Amino acid sequence: MLDIKFLRENPEIVKQNIRNKFQDAKLPLVDEVIALDKENREIKQEVEALRARRNKLSKEIGGLMAKGEREEAEKVKAQVSADAGRVNELSEREKEVEARIRQIMMTIPNIIDPSVPIGKDDSENVERERFGEPTVPDFEIPYHTEIMEKLHGIDLDSARRVAGNGFYYLMGDIARLHSAVLAYARDFMIDRGFTYCVPPFMIRSDVVTGVMSFAEMDAMMYKIEGEDLYLIGTSEHSMIGKFINTINKEEDLPYTLTSYSPCFRKEKGAHGIEERGVYRIHQFEKQEMIVVCRPEESPMWFDRLWQNTVDLFRSLDIPVRTLECCSGDLADLKVKSVDVEAWSPRQKKYFEVGSCSNLGDAQARRLGIRVVGEGGKKYFAHTLNNTVVAPPRMLIAFLENNLNEDGSVRIPEVLRPYMGGKSVIK
């Protein structure tokens, strides 16, 4: 959410940013919120003046009564009563105006970083850098669920009977591999100085609207019927929500946290749910990282965060690349975003396994995450998040890149302690 003062003083910058995100339907909202903001300030001024006059007239009434000038006193009382009615009327309008201003301000997209490439959708994202040499073996690589099924590691049919499409049973060594990857990712991030956390897996509506746009909320979140609770789509939501309505000491920053959680997503929209695979599903587990920091430090932390994911995948011998998200592919709260994509030898292309985002002060402004700086001055923190690893999507890259011709799967050395010393799954 933008600062209303910034929008008031820079309407053309805000409008151009909307155009850069190809959301021209939102352009009229800028003029509407400016007009509402002007009305709101005028209301406040009139209410303040009426209250000041009421205080003055109330004193006059006492003086007139003391002099026995009852008729004059009644006239003044009538004026006080009329002013009180006008204050009530204005106060009601003020609530309406402020509610509409907040609704609009939560709809207008955040100002993107100047380095973000301009483009309509994810087809115009820009490759930045490759890490590791992508290779294709001289034998055919089956679809990932076929690899798992041959290793007795997945049961989709039972999951459909129990829960429907978008769910799975992981079994045996594949289930163990899934947990091993998460445990390794947890320790990897702890070794990099992040504090490990297991957060609540449900959050209230004020946290949901604080961490994401209304469009994202509708497409992703599962609501708990009869309660003000939502299942989290990623632990970032719960982790950033940890700081809601807090005032933090500048010297305590940055907060660097890594968290484990299950994630639940509707996956509503064009992509849909995969019937055979486990790439796009309703339920999965994830290791996440978040940072709450000073504004001037967020670009540095952004680069550190995506590099962590690259380094983790490279430690497992999986080639990856970074992809800069273009303006039209950025969610409304994001300033800048980079996707990390892993190499798929079967598809002979890269696919997304993680996303790193700098949200500036958008989430902090919505959630009230403030920092006390030098001289007691308060300001909004910057927040960032990034995927460490998200099985089972990561398992697709792992299995394809470590598959042997006989159908067995190599276990990289760093994972073997988490797999009971196994070097191969047969």
The pLDDT confidence band at residue 272, using thresholds 50, 70 and 90, is low
> Does residue 276 form part of some domain?
yes
Across 200-205, average pLDDT:
96
Polymer length of the chain: 426
pLDDT of the residue at 54: 84
Q: Which of 238, 355, 357, 366 is catalytic?
A: 355
pLDDT digits (tens, 9 = 90+) for 331-354: 999 999 999 999 999 999 999 999
Q: What is the pTM of this model?
A: 0.90
> Does residue 391 form part of some domain?
yes
Give yes or no: residues 22 and 99 share one domain.
yes
pLDDT score of 269 more than 60: no
355 is annotated as an active-site residue: yes
Give yes or no: residues 301 and 369 share one domain.
yes
User: Of 76, 105, 134, which marks where a domain is finished?
Assistant: 105
Give yes or no: residues 277 and 308 share one domain.
yes
The pLDDT confidence band at residue 279, using thresholds 50, 70 and 90, is confident
> Does residue 398 form part of some domain?
yes
337 is annotated as an active-site residue: no
Q: Which of 186, 265, 321, 346 is catalytic?
A: 265
pLDDT digits (tens, 9 = 90+) for 31-43: 999 999 999 999 9
Give yes or no: residues 131 and 50 share one domain.
no
Q: Which of 357, 365, 393, 400 is catalytic?
A: 393
Give yes or no: residues 248 and 360 share one domain.
yes
Which domain does 79 fall in, by range? 4-105
pLDDT of the residue at 372: 97
What is the secondary structure of 272-328 as a DSSP string? Answer: ---SS-SSS-SEEEEEEEEEEE-GGGHHHHHHHHHHHHHHHHHHTT--EEEEEPPGG
- Better-scored residue on pLDDT, 272 or 128: 128
160 is annotated as an active-site residue: no
Domain with residue 30: its CATH number is 1.10.287.40
Q: Which of 192, 352, 410, 416 is catalytic?
A: 352
Give yes or no: residues 301 and 412 share one domain.
yes
130 is annotated as an active-site residue: no
Q: What are phi and psi of 242, to 5 degrees?
A: -55, -30
User: Of 45, 77, 105, which marks where a domain is finished?
Assistant: 105
Give yes or no: residues 417 and 296 share one domain.
yes
pLDDT score of 270 more than 60: no
pLDDT score of 190 more than 80: yes
Residues 333 and 363 sit within 8 Å (Cβ to Cβ): yes
Give yes or no: residues 85 and 176 share one domain.
no
Give yes or no: residues 272 and 238 share one domain.
yes
Give yes or no: residues 47 and 141 share one domain.
no
> Does residue 114 form part of some domain?
no
Q: What is the mean pLDDT of the chain?
A: 94
pLDDT score of 138 more than 90: yes
Domain with residue 315: its CATH number is 3.30.930.10
Across 124-135, average pLDDT:
97
Lowest mean pLDDT among 198-207, 272-281, 356-365: 272-281
> Does residue 188 form part of some domain?
yes
pLDDT of the residue at 155: 95
Give yes or no: residues 100 and 204 share one domain.
no
> Does residue 283 form part of some domain?
yes
User: Of 74, 105, 136, which marks where a domain is finished?
Assistant: 105
Q: Which of 8, 54, 280, 304 is catalytic?
A: 280
pLDDT of the residue at 268: 63
How many distinct structural domains can be found in the chain? 2
Give yes or no: residues 97 and 146 share one domain.
no
pLDDT of the residue at 351: 95
Measured torsion, CA atoms of residues 197, 200, 205, 210, in degrees rounded to the nearest 10? 0
Across 161-189, average pLDDT:
96
> Does residue 113 form part of some domain?
no
> Does residue 112 form part of some domain?
no
393 is annotated as an active-site residue: yes
Lowest mean pLDDT among 226-235, 266-275, 396-405: 266-275
pLDDT of the residue at 208: 94
